[in-house]
Amino acid sequence: MGAAILDVDLLAFERGGQAARSAVVDGVRRSLQTGFVFTSCDISVDLLDTAYGMLRAFFALDQQCKRRFVAPGASGQTGYTGLLVETAAGNDLADWKEMLNWSAPLAAAHPLRRRYPLLYPEPLLPEAVVPGITAVLEAFHHALEDLQRRFLRVIALGLGVAETFFDEITSEAPTLTRAIRYPPMVEAPAGGHVWAAAHGDINLITALPRATARGLQVEVEGRWVDAVPPEGRVIINTGLMLERLSNGLIPVGWHRVVAPEGTVQERYSVVQFCHARPWTMLSPLPCCCTPERPQRFSAISAADALEEILYRIQLLEGG
């Protein structure tokens, strides 16, 4: 039987006994061999619906208005990013999507922000044209961020380290939330553009709550399959940072977003990239290295790894 994306219950892990906790850890360990897992969550449905409503209002504005919220020099780490800008690493065609990005701000004097200003830009949200959106998106960011940190505790136990191993690594990290609008493909320029070409994320893990339409596909054992989670579930996929820390025990989750054949509708999704603190050294954990599985990766800082990817996907300004 081949690998499969499993549905696990994070809430049972947190509220149940040892048997329930062990079952969830085992399910996550097995599912992440695909780079993906579905999980229960406690994020408010009303919050998600409200966020989507406000994001639709923003993306419905004309291009001139939306361009007011482009943050020069931010390399896509805050504010608006227009159509045909981000390009999957190794791909020649830009993705047919536009995005709004935001994160939790740090104080100007914080050492992380002083040392890594690229990764901690001043937030730029369209409050002036969609009143109330800032409070809603900030609340949504914190809810997703909390969910991801809790899920990383399950992953930590599966790797054989302390349950709280990732807590410090992700504290005050440049975790990024991104709203994406995929316009109808009938409006795309000729040449073969897709909503989002095949790629792996750079970060530790990524959370994807319910989108407004199908289109996400994941690569499992060399085949592209539709990712359709059960109702109320969140998709978690793994990134390159976690692959490096686990010495390849947890592979990166490769995915793409492709408009279903015959569809003429647009698609909205909100995703959050859970990062490590920029000064974290991403070196394989000793417990993941054995004589049978020698160390595959050298050490690199999280900041350097992220900056390299921003360059490869053509978001690093001046690069």
Average of per-residue pLDDT values in the chain: 95
Residue 75: pLDDT band with limits 50, 70, 90 = confident
What is the pTM for the complete model shown?
A: 0.95
Q: What is the pLDDT of residues 218-244, one digit of tens each?
A: 999 999 999 999 999 999 999 999 999
Pinpoint the alpha helices (H) of 205-273. Answer: 240-245
Domain boundaries defined on the chain: 7-312
pLDDT of residue 318: 61
In tens, the pLDDT along 116-173 reads 999 999 999 999 999 999 999 999 999 999 999 999 999 999 999 999 999 999 999 9
Q: Which amino acid is at 178?
A: R
Residues making up the chain, counted from first to last: 319
Two tokens, residue 260: 């279903």
* SS3 of residue 300 by DSSP: strand
Q: Count Cβ atoms below 10 Å from residue 238 Cβ, excluding itself.
A: 26
CB 174 within 8 A of CB 77: yes
Is-contact 45 76, C-beta < 8 A?
A: no
User: Taking a C-beta distance cutoff of 8 angstroms, is the pair 103, 109 a contact?
Assistant: no
Region 85-92: what's the mean pLDDT? 90
Q: What percent of the chain has pLDDT over 90?
A: 90
What is residue 1's predicted lDDT score, i.e. its pLDDT?
A: 47
7-312 has which fold?
Jelly Rolls (2.60.120)
Q: Check pLDDT > 90 for residue 17.
A: yes
More confident residue, 124 or 319: 124
Tokens for 237? 């996929």
Residues 6+ apart with CB under 8 A from 221: 2, 3, 34
Asked if pLDDT for residue 314 goes beyond 90, the answer is no
Count Cα atoms within 13 angstroms, Cβ side, for 120: 20
User: Which region, left, alpha or beta, applies to residue 232 given φ > 0 means left and ψ of -120 to 50 means alpha?
Assistant: left
User: CA 196, CA 226: separation in Å to the nearest integer?
Assistant: 14
